[in-house]
A and B are shown apart, each in its own frame.
Chain A
């Protein structure tokens, strides 16, 4: 019996990997959805967005890369859908180079139109790039949303936006035109001209820098979506009121999907996450049982000697 516990204690880690793989992948194929209760930090963010007037402009800072896509992409898509349905204009930027690319992918993925393009006044407008249709509402590039791309400089970019937004992001990503040529940018001269900042962050630069500069210096309300590892760092700012809500990891994304009425990937993947958590807890229990069993045996042997 003791040999069993000793072998368990020294188990090959690859067996653990296989079990976790099965725990994560099987629920995806079974497509089981679980009820997701909404936590206060997600509710705070949703309420802050609900309080915005029609036509408000939101700065969306996509500060993540494909590595964090499983956690942050679903909340990005849910947010974009919400903005379009509620006539909230959004301006996309990135402090990470891949961020604006991920935002483009989100725009593409939320588009519900089956057509590829339309021709309007001689211009070809592509669905999922120039026009997006969500739940019957249409959003147009340059009028309802725009992507100004990535800017190097990390938190210094936020500081510069506080004094001159145009100097920091002079052109848009899609056409390379001056941002002033697009109606959505009318009246935006500096960061404080935005009604809300929604930051999706996987690390540095990220939520902490947005709080330090945008909130503390320029008094712009900021809501955050973080990976599960980064979210605990943001809680102190939520507590002080510096952050207007947090979406923490895939669970936060699933809760947000529930609030905006668009259950999608985050909700689906929560089942996998739940199974993984259950198995990790089981591993810890088994590991401790094996540890105590072998420890007791060593103690007995010690006494005999």
Chain B
């Protein structure tokens, strides 16, 4: 029954959502909203599973003095710091107000760290481009040219170096053509393929043909 019950539940909920999309009459809408609420509640409570697991592993590393246990200490300290400050030292419901402890941590630690990680992309794009963009064959050369046109055209630099060309032929115009036509065509093709794949996989899961996500074959 360990696998049969999840399969039955998946089938019932999946078919309910499918029918509700075409049948607005009650109780279909109410059922689908109820299922959606259940999912929201389950996924919100499930955060505790992850948090407890993270603490368990971190404490074990510290206790056993595993290699790099210093990072586990950092995890534990920051986890409890934000939890305690947010719950007890931030004015309760008004924890998001300017000047609260939580707000200070958000602005001065979380926000800069998050932005820093995203900013790494700029550096990694440069190093990946240097390493991977090679005109090895005709297709790679076309890709390279398109990349140059779009990179130059998406900044004022592109118009500056092609200012002598007539309107409509400058790099920004060519860049727009690539983005609005070639890019759109490629994106649509990939999106169509992905959507078909999603429908097919969803159907297999709803009908119980696909079971590997429950464990085993």
Interface residues, chain A, with chain B CB atoms under 8 Å away: 11, 13, 16-17, 19-21, 24, 34-37, 39-40, 65-70, 100-101, 104-105, 108, 128-129, 152-153, 156, 159-160, 163, 173, 176, 228, 232-233, 235-236, 239, 249, 251, 270, 273-274, 276-281, 283-284, 286-288, 291-292
Contact = CB atoms under 8 A, between A and B. Distances in A.
The SS class assigned to the B binding surface is helix
Contact of B155 (A65, A70, A233, A273): A273
Given A16-B127, A236-B188, A270 B155 contact: yes
B183 A235 contact: yes
Interface residues of B, number: 51
Contact of A152 (B44, B97, B130, B133): B44
Contacts, number: 134
Contacts of A235: 179-180, 183-184, 187
Find the residue from A129, A277, A283 having the highest chain B CB count within 10 A: A277
Contacts of B126: 16-17, 19-20, 276, 279-280, 283
Given A37-B172, A274-B156, A284 B133 contact: yes
Contacts of B183: 232, 235
A66 B114 CA distance: 6
Contact of B154 (A67, A236, A277, A284): A277
Given A69-B115, A232-B187, A288-B134, A16 B123 contact: yes
A273 to B, nearest CB: 6
Contact of A239 (B36, B98, B117, B184): B184
B98 A173 contact: no
B156 A35 contact: yes
B156 A36 contact: yes
A284 B187 CA distance: 25
- What are the 3 closest A-B residue pairs judged by CB atoms, nearest first? A67-B118, A66-B111, A274-B155
B40 interface: yes
15 contacts: A13-B127, A13-B130, A16-B127, A34-B156, A35-B159, A70-B119, A128-B98, A129-B98, A152-B44, A232-B179, A235-B187, A277-B152, A280-B129, A287-B134, A288-B134
Given A11-B130, A39-B176, A291-B134, 11 more contacts: A13-B127, A20-B126, A40-B176, A66-B112, A67-B115, A173-B96, A236-B184, A236-B187, A239-B180, A274-B156, A287-B129
